[in-house]
Structures are given as structure tokens and as C-alpha cells.
Chain A
Amino acid sequence: MSEPTADDVQVKLESLAKLRRDGGVLRDYHAPRWNEPLIMEQSVPGQRGIFVPLAEPEIVEAVGDPQAFIPAQMRRTKPPELPEIAQHQALRHYLRLSQETLGMDLGSDISEGTCTMKYSPKMHEDLIRSHKAADLHPWQDEDTMQGLLEIVYECGEYLKEISGMDAISLQPGGGSHAVFTNAAVMRGYFAAKGELPYRNEMITTIFSHPCDAATPAVAGFKVVTVMPDANGYPDLEAFKAAVSDRTVGCMITNPEDTGIYNPHIDKYVEILHDAGALAFTDQANANGILGIARARDAGFDACHFNLHKTFSSPHGSEGPATGAYLVSEKLAPFLPVPVVTKVDGKYHLDYDRPQSIGRVRGFLGTWMGVIRAYAWIRSLGPDGLREVAEISVLNNNYLDRLLLGIRGVSRPYAEGHRRLDQVRYSLEQLAEETGIGTEAVRDRMVDFGIQSYWMSHHPWIVPEPFTPEPCETYSKADLDEWAAVIKKVSDEAYAEPETIKTAPHAQPIAQMRRLEALEDPEQWAFTWRAYKRKVLGRRASPQGSPSTDNPANGPATPAQS
């Protein structure tokens, strides 16, 4: 059989695009609507999913009262208020909820700019679920987990090469956690030098991730924020004014949320170093620079990567995440313990580091993310990593061309300059001309099976913002479909705005109401207990609730269900 020509491939792709109803053709989509109650609301006293068998009499006799193992002051006085529900109902409940949700594996997550939502190979799940990994116990002797330590060590070596840094910790449990670790390491560095009493200001920029401001504040520093200039770069004169002998360092993203890469970043680093301060770059999202630009080569003293973004490990509702934190030699003594080392071909957990800031998380951190990142790096190799960046930038600039052709869409800052892997667009013109702003567009696009887009971190410097990030995962057809959705919504805004104002129409939930409640600690309710107290106006444990108030309500018998 002969090799297919480029034309053959093109014809096939086009026919496939029609078949999949994408490539610019909008889907006839409708999400299922189950009107599913909260699981706590479905609880029926006495219902059980599992009947735990009573222990054998011999065991009871040998062990005695199991509660006696728990110190008296730590024992519950009441059983926890858990939903009482049959297995089948629990399964149905969560399947229904999953059907009412869009996500990476179901649709297009191009929408989630700054998050680098990319395909996470399913083979990686086999690796982390293998008994060789899953059955490890954190208290095992290091001699018995050399395999895992080798993966952690080697993954660290790769990331050091990718960033140009000298040492690494894979212990932080997320991006912001790694950024906090940096603030703590810089604090440790200046404390050791005796300069901490007067160095107490950390600089960041308004377009850097908010954690670059929040975490140094938590670490006890005053945070000084710099605004952008007309080109979208941090204002260099303002930056100079911000730096002084009180400066600890700077925590900055490049490219920032605008997608604009600052080619003069080394100048900023130089200004910091001249003042005796340190420079950290937040590389949570490194898709635009992977294999192309290295933090160390621009003079940075430290950086981090999010393995759950750039390195393919999935994001999952606040975890499981891994922040890889990397430093130059002079900051290495302050890294969290333990550091994984290799001596004479054996791997060790090195706790003997007197200047360490201590632990930032238990044991090795989220090592599942490390295994996935290791497998991903190994499967791509150095050329593959660079290709990831190149395709991401190509994808982004292709989508950019499509989006800028849509009425009402603009791209503030740095006219004529290409963006790297994402762009912060503005719908200000659309809002002014039609009254349809970015929140309304977001609520409408989900009617086409596309995840609602990420608008912007706060504050909104770019008016009516949205921020797509079409990383290397996405095909041309995916990009065409995404742009077609935005075009469709823009056309509607000018022709039939009511359709948008009343959207979504094809989702299980219509418009969100009482949004102000999400911003008011007196009103928001993130737990069942808070929901009952604040929303239902009841006390947390109402009288007569058998699941909470009746200590005798132990394991159910079959007769009860």
C-alpha cells in the first residue's frame, strides 16, 4: 500500500470535519438535564451502600475495643452526618452529575486560558495505578522504594535541564504552593544573610498570576505591584521606582496573562540583582517557551513549573497537583526537605539540610503527578518538548487570526506583536455596541458544547476580557470550531441579543442567580452544614435527625433497609 500524499490527508481531514460536525460547523448540542438533588438531600435514614460485616469473635477478643486506640479527646461525640444511600443510587447520582458537566475529555477546553488544558495520556493512569506505585507506603524505607525515588530524581534532572536551574523540589502540592515555597526560600536566604529586618518588599506585576502577590504576603512580605506600559510589558520606569534596598525580589510571569513575551526580561532581572535582590519567574504555564527559553539564561535565581499543566498531568478540582520548584545553587540549601539525591547509584531522601525551610508537604508530595510528567517527558524527548511549544504558539496564532476577524473582538496592547501561547482579548466593543458583555457570551457559548471560557484574573485590566489557550492538543478542526462558536455568538449579539441574554438554553442549569452570594462570606455555602445554616436557615444538627443526633444509630441491619 502506497504512502498517502498531503492532498489525501487534507481530503480525509475535511471529510472527517464534516462528519464530526466541527471545522466551523456548529454542533446540534444539548446537555442532559437531570434536576438532580444534592446527595445529602437524598439521604434516607437506615439506607446503606455497604453492610460492613461484624468482626469475628476471636478478633474482637484479641483486639479489644477499637475505640480505645483513639485518644478520648479525639473521639467523636456524634457520628458524622453522612448521606445514607444505596450503592446504585450513589453511582447514578455521580454519573448524572458527570453528564451535566463539560470537561477536557468530553469537549474542547481551549476556553481555559492560563490553565494549559491538554490531553493527559490515559496510559499514564496505568502507571500510577500499577501496584508498583499504588501500593507503596510513605513510611517505607528508602531502600525499598528505589524505583519511585529514581523517577522523582530523574524527572528532577530533566526539569533542571529544561529550566537551566541547579536544584529542585517536587514536594509542593500545586502551582501556588510552589510559588509560596519560593517566597519562603527567599525569606530563608535573606534571614541567613541577616538582611531580613530591612528587606521586606516583594515586587510583582498586575498581569502575573495573583498567587505571585498573595503568597509573599502570606510569607510576611509587603507586596509591590507594577502596572503595564503601553506595550503590555511591566512599566520599566515604574519597576525601577519599585526596586530599592528594601526589595527581597520579584515574582513575575513571562509571558504574562496577555500572552505577550517580554524580550527584555533580563533587564528587569539585572535591576533586581544590582539592588541585591532575587528574581523568580512563575512558569506555571510554560507551553510557549518549552525547549526554547530557559529561566536561568535570563538570569533568574528560581522558577517553577506546574506538572499538572505544562507536563500533562490532569487538573482535578483543586488537585492532585505538583509544583516543581527550581533554584540556582545559592538558593539550594534552603529547599524543602527531604531532597532526593543520588549517591553511588543509590537514591536517598536527604533530610540533613540545616538551612532548609522545612517541609511544605508530607513525604514526597503528589508523586502521581511526577510519574505522569516523567512519562510525558520521556515519550517526547527534547525535540518533542520543543515541538509542543511550537505547535502551541502556531495554534494560538491561527486562532488569533480567526478571532480578530470577528466583530466586537479586540486584542489590547502591543499592536502588531505576536502572542505566544494565549491571548487576553477584549469584548469591550461588543459590549458597547450591543450591551452583550463577556459574561453573557460565556453563558451562551456552552450551548454549543464548548466549555465556558476563562475571562481573566481580577482585577480586570482588560475590559470585558476572555482568554483562550489552544495548546498543542488541539487540531485545526478544534480551533475552527471554537472560533465559529465565538463568531456565532457575536452575530447573535448584533442580531438577536435576547437569545444571549437568556442563555444558556442547552445546559442543565440556566443562568446563575444571586451571584453576589458567592462574594459574601455571610451568604456563601460551600458545605452541606453551611448550606443548611445559611440557605435553609436551620441549625447544623436539627433535632431528631437520626444520622447525627442518635448515637445508637450504628451500622444498619438488613431489616432496617
Chain B
Amino acid sequence: MTQRKRLGLIVNPLAGIGGRVGLKGSDGPEIVRRALELGAVREAPHRAQLALARLTSLRDSLEVITCPGEMGESEARAVGLLPTVLDLPLRAEQQDVPSSLPDGTPLTTAADTVNAARALADRNVDLLLFAGGDGTARNVFDAVGDRLLVVGIPAGVKIHSAVYATTPVAAGDLAALVLGPQGAGIRERQGEVMDIDEDAFRDNRVSARLYGYLRVPYQRTLLQSAKAGSQTADEAALNGIANEVVNDMESGVTYFIGPGTTTRAILDLLALPDTLLGVDVVRDRKLLAADASELDLLRLLEQPGTRAKIIVTAIGGQGHIFGRGNQQFSPRIIRQVGRDNILVIATQSKLLSLEGKPLLVDTGDPDLDRELSGYVKVITGLHERLVYPVRGDTG
């Protein structure tokens, strides 16, 4: 008899609770309390159930391991799965915070997600399915790094991270594929984990970070970015993009290369070390500066005779090319470099995953955002460009 596959399940039952009542996120017990006062309804459990319903046909070949209560157990039972429930003390000790919601449901916290993810990693689950938003993805990343293959069920207010399936149903189908008989053939990719500081966000300031990468299964019809074709095609496209950029590099020009796995391919091709989450500076195929700050870039621009180009890619699931995870490219830097010297690179599949939504710029300077708006010829491969709209996304 073949061994049953193990599915780890974490539901952040409070994910998304702030969305409908306009609170721009759900991080922290105070926001949860305010959201409930404003009449918010918990949507994550329902979304998790939509995904889990797609796994019921695998019931006999699957061991579902999850957390107590609404962090997974009740959702699994609601669709007829019989989960193994982890013995986890819910919510870390905190002072001055209510321990339960007005309806008696225990109030879970980020620490619970972290603890649960660690416990599931220790159980060697074949896949971790989690429902939440960017905060949840970040907690999962903190806990397991690249130890586990994960799939996100989109349930949060902020979904900037590219570790979520397009819909809860698609998340369930993807999980079913990984855990089903053909699961061994499934490939993986790295999905960006992004998070925005919600307090700043509520003050209409955006402070976004590219946090890291989680391992995500890859299937052409279920993950947004997979729609364009096979992963081998994507890998070839990345290689093509890097070759296109490097072939066209001009001598004496300084290249500010932004964060991301797409831009990393350029540095890989040049056999230079890269800063995955930061800005590297290259001139004449040599690394001039690694993980440069805005100030570093300004100093370089102030050197007499400096001609610079910025190379950026769409970061995260929303398609930001400025203002998410690459704030080193401040309005001052972008203006000095000039619009015509900005190269945008992205695989065709990444652009198509935006489903027609424009690339976004949110530099913090509305005038600059307007200037950058219009159309850009995105480099999508060797000798390939895709004309794509760019719009401001201030606020």
C-alpha cells in the first residue's frame, strides 16, 4: 500500500476581515476589534472551504494535518475531511489583548501561524496549504523558509505576494494536483513574499518590502503566471531577457539593477553576485556596488559624465514596477535617470498573470507617476518586447 500524502493546512481565520470595512488590512488585534465593531464578517474560513472542497475525492489517500478550531480543523470538517489536529496552544501570550472574539471564537495571532507552520514542517507535510493575505505569507515564510512546498488560498486584504493561486478553487485544484497521482511530476517556482506596513498604509503612505521567496508548485492552468506556457518556456524566457539586456548594454553606462528573480538572471549571466532583495550597480560588466541605497545611487549619479539606466521588473502579484520593494529608486533618482532610460523586464507569463491590469508606479510623487504613465515596451525575451500600459497607483 502506498503511503498517504500529507497535507498541512493553516487558515488565518481573521485574514481579510479589514477589507470590506475599508481598514486596509487585518494585522493586529486592535484592527480586528475595530473591524468586528464595523460589522466585518470573517471570510477566510469560507474561502478555505472552497479550496478544500476540491480535495474531497482524494480523501482516502490523504492525511490532513491542521490546527485546532477555525485555524483549519473546522474548515476541513465542514467539507467532510477528517483531519489530524495538532496539539497547539492557540495564540501566544499577549497582554492587554482580548483572548476571544465577541462570539467566543479564540482570537488567533501571527505567532499562531508561525508556530503552526513550524509544527507542520516538522511533520514533513508534502504540501502546506494556507489561507490568508500578505501578512500570513510572511509568517509562513518566517517559519519555514524554503523547507516546504506551499500554496496560498487568497483570503486577505493585501495580496501582493505571488504565492497565491488565482482563486480559492484554483488553490484547491493545484493542491489536488500536487497530492494526486501525478504529483511527482509537478514543477516548482519561487514566489515573491511581499508585505506592506499596514499602519503606514492606513496613513496613505506605502512602505513595501520584498520579503523573500517561498516554494510554489507550478501548473500551467491554475497559477496565474503559468498561463503562458510551460516552466521550461519561462526559464528560457528569463535566459532570453538576460541575454537581450546584456547584449544591448552600452559601454560606460551605469546600470541600476533592481530586485527580483527576473533581474537576478542578468547578474547570473554576467557571473556577478546579486542582491535578490536590493539594488545592484553594474558598469562595463563589473559590479560597482551591491545592495545600494538611494544615497549610494545619488552619489553615483553626481559623478561627472555619468549616464545611467534603471532596470526594473514587476514585483509581486500586483505588477508594481516602482514603489514596491524597490524604494531605493526614489523620485529624485528616477527623474535624474530619465524616463527613456528605464528598462522594464518581465516574462510574458508574468505580464499575462496581471490579466490586463496595467503595470503600476507608486513613487510617492504623483506628478512623476503621471509622467511615467502611458505605454512601455517591456523586454520579455531575446529580441522580444510587449507593449504594456503603465499607470500611477498613488495611495
Contact = CB atoms under 8 A, between A and B. Distances in A.
Interface of A: 201, 206, 213, 217, 221-227, 235, 237-239, 241-242, 431-432, 435, 437, 439, 458-461, 463-464, 513-516, 519-521
Given A238-B389, A239-B387, A460-B228, 17 more contacts: A217-B383, A222-B384, A222-B385, A223-B384, A224-B377, A224-B386, A224-B387, A226-B387, A227-B387, A237-B375, A242-B375, A242-B387, A460-B352, A461-B352, A519-B231, A520-B232, A521-B232
Contacts of B356: 227
Given A464-B221, A519-B232, A519-B233, A223 B387 contact: no
Contacts of B182: 513
Nearest to B220: A460
Interface in B229-269: 229-233
A226 B349 CA distance: 15
Given A237-B375, A516-B187, A520-B232, A217 B384 contact: yes
B169 interface: yes
Contacts of B187: 516
Contact of B228 (A201, A432, A459, A520): A459
A359 to B, nearest CB: 25
B385 A432 contact: no
A516 B217 CA distance: 13
A368 B141 CA distance: 63
Contacts of A435: 54, 169, 173
16 contacts: A206-B386, A217-B382, A223-B383, A223-B385, A224-B386, A224-B387, A225-B386, A227-B387, A227-B388, A238-B388, A432-B169, A459-B227, A459-B228, A463-B221, A519-B230, A521-B232
A222 to B, nearest CB: 5
B348 interface: yes
B167 interface: yes
Contacts of B233: 458, 519
Nearest to B377: A224
A458 B185 contact: no
A435 B385 CA distance: 34
B374 interface: yes
A62 B384 CA distance: 60
B-side binding surface: helix, strand, loop or mixed?
Answer: mixed
Contacts of A242: 375, 377, 387
B52 to A, nearest CB: 13
B385 A241 contact: no
In this complex, the member of B185, B227, B375 whose beta carbon has the largest number of chain A beta carbons within 10 angstroms is B375
A241 B387 contact: yes
Contacts of B377: 224, 241-242
Interface string B35-71: 0000000000000000000100000000000000000
Contacts of B382: 217
Contacts of A227: 356, 386-388
B218 to A, nearest CB: 10
Contacts of B221: 431, 437, 439, 460, 463-464
A492 to B, nearest CB: 16
Contact of A238 (B232, B349, B375, B383): B375
A465 to B, nearest CB: 10
Give 9 closest A-B pairs by Cβ, nearest first: A459-B228, A241-B375, A519-B230, A224-B385, A458-B229, A238-B387, A217-B383, A242-B387, A225-B386
Pick the most buried of B220, B233, B383, B384: most chain A CB atoms within 10 A of its CB.
B383
Interface of B: 54, 167, 169, 173, 182, 185, 187, 220-221, 227-233, 348-349, 352, 356, 374-375, 377, 380, 382-389
Given A222-B384, A432-B169, A464-B221, A458 B228 contact: yes
A206 B356 CA distance: 13
B295 to A, nearest CB: 34
B348 to A, nearest CB: 6
A213 B384 contact: yes
A222 B383 contact: yes
Contacts of B230: 516, 519
Contacts of A431: 221
Nearest to B173: A435
B371 to A, nearest CB: 15
A459 B385 contact: no
Among A235, A459, A461, A463, chain B packs the most CB atoms within 10 A around the CB of: A459
A548 to B, nearest CB: 32
A66 B330 CA distance: 77
A217 B15 CA distance: 47
Contacts of A238: 375, 387-389
A459 B173 contact: no
A43 B383 CA distance: 46
B153 to A, nearest CB: 15
A239 B54 CA distance: 42
Nearest to A222: B383
Given A432-B169, A435-B54, A221 B383 contact: yes
B383 A459 contact: no
Contacts of B389: 238
A87 B352 CA distance: 53
A241 B227 contact: no
B227 A463 contact: yes
Contacts of B167: 432
A514 B169 contact: no
A520 B54 CA distance: 29
A437 B348 CA distance: 22
Contacts of A223: 383-385
A438 to B, nearest CB: 8
Given A227-B387, A432-B169, A516 B185 contact: yes
A459 B229 contact: yes
A464 B230 CA distance: 15
Nearest to B236: A521
A240 to B, nearest CB: 8
A514 B230 CA distance: 13
Contacts of A464: 221
Contacts of A237: 375
A226 B385 CA distance: 9
A504 B20 CA distance: 45
Nearest to B380: A225
A520 B377 CA distance: 29
B132 to A, nearest CB: 22
Given A221-B383, A516-B187, A519-B232, A459 B349 contact: yes
Contacts of A520: 232
A221 B182 CA distance: 41
A433 to B, nearest CB: 9
A238 B358 CA distance: 12
B259 to A, nearest CB: 25
Nearest to A460: B227
